Structure 1
Amino acid sequence: MQERLEGKVRDADGCEIAGPRQAPFKGRNKPHRGDRKWVNGWSPEQITNRLQIDFPDDESMRISHEAIYQALYIQGRGALKRELVSCLRTGRALRVPRARAQAKAWAHVSENVMISSRPAEVEDRAVPGHWEGDLIIGLNRSAIGTLVERSTRFTMLVHLPREEGYGLIPRTKNGPALAGYGAVTMANALKKTVADLPVELWRSLTWDRGKELSDHARFTIESGVKIFFADPHSPWQRGTNENTNGLLRQYFPKGTDLSHWSAQEIQAIAHALNTRPRKTLSWKTPAEALNEYLKSRGCRR
């Protein structure tokens, strides 16, 4: 059992491979991935169930995964010795009580704004005006809002500059949201973006469950755009947006500070995507598809 928990990495000949030397552990939070040991350890649940297979007739070789956890973590505080934290796959120094783990902070998502309440016309993509949105996150709490129209794949990017005082005011729990995508700031930025297109092109917006859109009720009242939220851990329900975010990562790689991009530069990237031919549009560009719809309705951009 000890060998399974340690999870030492060995080659095909059984020789142990030490791997990169870890940095000294500081603090109680997770070490940076680059500072953690190679970890191939088995979870307590894997050990518990494997013992039944390896020793089917030996009742003494039985132990629950909870007993293993209790043996590892200090009773009372539920903490783990600091030198062992970097060996864990999750890197958690503290055990999270089950009740706390199950309590999701999704109070802003009620039944009437669930994706199941979305109009049926959204699914077939026949009528433009139904959008999907999310954030792409960068270093230092930077972000860019992404909006994609489901029918034409037309993309709009939302510039989210940091609020005044960011970096000067120490971060505190429940303190002011200065990173640029707090609930109020996000709703205001989206409302400004909505005004750039005709009203009939904004029928609904399906968003992830992030708290950045917890002010959605005010946004809907002021803009007229209905907000719907996807189910938990269901990115495929916003597949168009997820695919577009993958394309955007060519321009905004992970691990970069997105606040370095100006509003003009961000709009240039959106223009690049909107003028790129798409197979799903029979090789038309999203901009062409949108313009064709507007012309058929006698509207102007």
Structure 2
Amino acid sequence: LFNHLRRKGKAYQPRGSKYAGRGYIKNRISIDERPKIVEKKARIGDWEIDLVIGKGHSGALVTVVERKTKFTVSKRINDKTAETVTAATISLLKPFKDLVFTITADNGKEFAYHERIAKALGAKVYFADPYGSWPRGLNENTNGLLRQYWPKLTDFKKVSQGEVSAVISQLNNRPRKTLDYETPAKIMAEHMALLRA
């Protein structure tokens, strides 16, 4: 049933090539320049960002997932302008600033102000190759889980941030096989505590 729910609807398509022409992003840094350690998931602090778009582009969720722990943060937004997405991203990750080393995004123009994000968080922002494929298993899986709660025809302007936070809390407190049945929330909390010690 879970697999049926998660895969219902159109097959997932990587956004890289499809959205390649959506807008020029000044001073973008290619994923090819991203440190190799990020791909190995050998540390906590490397994040992937994406948008879950609402019906008729009416509202969206900014969703950021930490690669090693699968810890997720998300904010509901009314529009997907670069200004709005930038502010949401900074507010989501500021509490974890000491554990934000890299952020990887696709080439959507909503990420045009990546330099502001990088400066505010002391991190590097990398972009996928617009004409190549980028393995997005983590984002795809997370967005698939969110779509169980909010199908593709959802109008996110009618969804409260409280509802979003409640769902994200459920995901973060769900034991994961890839984490030896620990939860993303527990692992992230332990690492945050170590940083503050």
TM range (shorter): 0.7 to 0.9
Asked whether 1:201 is paired with 2:117, we answer: no
Q: 1:116 aligns with which of 4, 7, 32?
A: 32
- Alignment partners' CA distance in 1, 2:72 and 2:165: 10
User: How many Å apart are 1:236 and its aligned residue?
Assistant: 4.3
Aligned residues: 178
Correspondence for 1:242: 140
User: How many Å apart are 1:109 and its aligned residue?
Assistant: 5.6
- Alignment partners' CA distance in 2, 1:132 and 1:114: 14
- Alignment partners' CA distance in 1, 2:22 and 2:70: 31
Would you tell me which structure has more helix in proportion to its own residues? 2
CA shift in 2, pair 1:105/1:236, >3 Å: closer
User: How many Å apart are 1:194 and its aligned residue?
Assistant: 1.6
User: How many Å apart are 1:217 and its aligned residue?
Assistant: 1.6
Does the 8 Å contact 2:76/2:156 carry over to 1?
A: no
Does the 8 Å contact 2:76/2:164 carry over to 1?
A: yes
Asked whether 1:137 is paired with 2:53, we answer: yes
Which aligned pairs between 1:27-38 and structure 2 lie closer than 5 A? none
The aligned amino acid for 1:231 is D
Correspondence for 1:213: 111
Does the 8 Å contact 2:54/2:60 carry over to 1?
A: yes
The aligned amino acid for 2:39 is E
Q: Which runs of 5+ in 1 are unaligned?
A: 1-102, 163-179
Correspondence for 2:8: none
Post-superposition CA distance 1:259-294 (Å, at most 9, x none):
111111111110010001111101111111212323
Does the 8 Å contact 2:44/2:99 carry over to 1?
A: yes
Correspondence for 1:192: 91
State the secondary structure of the residue aligned to 2:136.
helix
**Looking at CA atoms only, which structure, 1 or 2, has the larger radius of gyration?**
1
The TM-score normalised by the length of structure 2 is 0.82
CA shift in 2, pair 1:263/1:128, >3 Å: same
Does the 8 Å contact 1:230/1:237 carry over to 2?
A: no
Tell me how large the CA RMSD over aligned residues is: 2.1
Correspondence for 1:299: 196
- Alignment partners' CA distance in 2, 1:139 and 1:156: 21
CA shift in 2, pair 1:109/1:278, >3 Å: farther
Correspondence for 1:182: 81
Would you tell me which structure has more strand in proportion to its own residues? 2
Q: Which runs of 5+ in 2 are unaligned?
A: 1-19
- Higher relative contact order by CA 8 Å / sep ≥ 6: 1 or 2? 2
Correspondence for 1:32: none
